[in-house]
Structure 1
Amino acid sequence: MKNNTLNLLLIFVFVLGFLGFNSLYVVTEGNKGIVTRFGKVVRDSEAHLNIVNPGLHFKMPFVDRVKSLDVRIQTISSSADRFVTSEKKDVIIDSYVKWQISDPATYYLTTAGGNKTQAEELLRRRINNSLRSQIGRLTIHEIVSGRNNHNDDASVEDNDFDSVDVAVASQSKRDEVMQNALKDIGASAKSLGIKIVDVRIKQINLPPEVSNSIYQRMRAERDAVAKLHRSQGRKEAEAIKAHADREVVVKIAEAERQARTLRGEGDAEATRIYATAYKQNPKLFEFLRSMDAYKNAMTSGKDTLVLDPNSEFFKYFNDINGALK
């Protein structure tokens, strides 16, 4: 009898614990909970959806279900897509959006029970439409450079501009596009119970066919500049070469003139020395001149001279005084 009572007590405790366990649920931090009963959302006394805050809560076991909604800031990274500018030219833009659930009840009802995939798909469409509208009013130059066309020719050094005017003139068109898109999407996202925190353009590219044509044009422009510099360099090189050649001719002529002058002065000095030496001892001078002539005529030792022995050339051979026979 006691064993039966104990078994019943254990079964009762087990059932009570099981029911208690299924009657409790926890909503973690950063989430909101929505309770459904028999597939329908539980509402409060004013027919509003009952939003459950983070913490430990009770529910009817086996009947109630809890849908947890992440209310933290989340990111949607859109794939790169083509947009058409005001010039009817294509650009490829990659963007992302930061969003957050602001009204869990509205979000739950408009996204088929808090379906995150459906919510992100709706946001992507609206983001794409807003950016397409913004990009369609700009030129490629404005999108890439980030400034207005009329600001490119303006001088920020003008004394009529103060620092505030310059800052306004320098406002980035990309920032303007992102701010306008943030306003547009933010207004429409409220109907989904979503708050748009930020809209950012990550990257702006041109299609491959447009990029290739731009690269070819840039290459042609750089080639033209290079050819201009090379032609100017050749012109300056020719001028420098002509100047150097002229300087060489002038210096060579001057050197030759000085050389002729020095040779003339040397010859005159040699003649003067010879004349002075001859006046001092004409016989000795004549004798030495004859000895030099003998030496120069008979350097190899095998020379043959066909001369009259009584000629003047051999006068010192016959007589040391140079008397001819």
Structure 2
Amino acid sequence: MNRLGFIFSTLLLLVALGASTLFVVDQRQFGVVYALGQIKEVITEPGLNFKLPPPFQNVSYIDKRLLTLDSTDNEPVLTAEKQRVVIDWYVRWRISEPTEYIRNVGTNEAAGASQLNRVVRNAFQEEINKRTVKELLSLKREALMDDVKNEVLTQVRGAKPWGIDVVDVRITRVDYVDAITESVYRRMEAERKRVANELRSTGAAEGEKIRADADRQREVTVANAYRDAQKIKGEGDAEAARTYTEAFGRDPQFAQFYRSLDAYKASFATKGDVMVLDSSSSDFFKTMRGGASANTSK
């Protein structure tokens, strides 16, 4: 029984020892084999590989894919005309030489990103100091990004190469600092208010002009209508007078009777009208007296 356990334990130990000598490198990674803390070999191709068991040899992995580094600080940068602007940028980069990268930068991607962030930020500051805000917002921004990329490549390929390749450098945003932005917004608001007030004043003046013209046209129309009405009324009165004259000329007594009736209507328009006359001697009631005598005789 003890012998069987010993054999089983030995087999397990051999399996564990054999497993510690095998490692798999993914197609997205570099496999770095260390021998007593020194780089022994860098595996660049994916597949199954062999090494000595720990502690004689160990393996670590570094990402070989294209990585993205985004800006993390909002420190303002001075332009050529001493304007304070804030920029956002990103860098696309990859590890191309794992041995140089580990020796001069670090053993993981975070170490390279940290140092690359500092180099890119300094390069942007230097290049933006040479350019105006207008140039940053125009097509010349492409030249700025190319210059920054070349400067960063010069830094990482210097006396102690970093073992990385910078593929692209891009600016995603250029903006004034908050204080300047607020001032610009206030000026824009004041300008818009001035234009709005000017438009309102112009509109009010135009409205007054239109109303004055409409009032003038109304007065002219009313005056013309009144003139035409008076003309028609005068023609009607003339025609009526002619008709009355013609009718009264045929029968003078009827004319006198009709006019007396009109006088009576005008004199006794309301029940409260009172006249004090001598009915026996006044000619005003002559028609009435004549009508009464006529009725008596009948």
The reply to whether residue 74 of structure 1 matches residue 67 of structure 2 is: yes
Of 99, 103, 107, the residue aligned with 1:105 is: 99
Deviation at 1:205, TM superposition (A): 1.9
Match of 1:59 in 2: 51
Residues 290/29 of structure 1: CA separation in 2 closer, same or farther (3 Å cut): same
Residues 197/254 of structure 1: CA separation in 2 closer, same or farther (3 Å cut): same
2:168 alignment partner AA:
D
Partners of 1:50 and 1:225 lie apart in 2 by 69
Give the count of matched residue pairs. 288
1:31 alignment partner AA:
Q
The answer for unaligned runs of 5 or more in structure 2 is none
Match of 1:273 in 2: 243
CA deviation vs aligned residue, 1:50-95 (integer Å, no higher than 9, x gap):
4353221111112111021111111111123311100111001111
Residues 273/321 of structure 1: CA separation in 2 closer, same or farther (3 Å cut): farther
Deviation at 1:302, TM superposition (A): 5.7
Match of 2:219 in 1: 249
**TM-score computed with the length of structure 1 as normaliser:** 0.80
User: Mean Cα displacement is larger for which, 22-31 or 236-245?
Assistant: 236-245
The reply to whether residue 32 of structure 1 matches residue 52 of structure 2 is: no
Match of 1:285 in 2: 255
The reply to whether residue 320 of structure 1 matches residue 287 of structure 2 is: no
Partners of 1:299 and 1:254 lie apart in 2 by 35
Match of 2:155 in 1: 188
Of 14, 17, 27, the residue aligned with 2:15 is: 17
Partners of 2:81 and 2:266 lie apart in 1 by 100
Match of 1:123 in 2: 116
User: Mean Cα displacement is larger for which, 82-91 or 282-291?
Assistant: 282-291
Of 120, 126, 134, the residue aligned with 1:133 is: 126
Partners of 2:122 and 2:265 lie apart in 1 by 116
Judge conservation of contact 2:62–2:108 (CA < 8 Å) in 1: no
The answer for unaligned runs of 5 or more in structure 1 is 43-48, 148-171
The reply to whether residue 175 of structure 1 matches residue 173 of structure 2 is: no
The reply to whether residue 93 of structure 1 matches residue 64 of structure 2 is: no
Deviation at 1:124, TM superposition (A): 0.8
SS at match of 2:62: strand
Partners of 2:34 and 2:46 lie apart in 1 by 17
Judge conservation of contact 2:63–2:109 (CA < 8 Å) in 1: no
Deviation at 1:103, TM superposition (A): 1.1
**TM-score computed with the length of structure 2 as normaliser:** 0.87
RMSD: 2.3
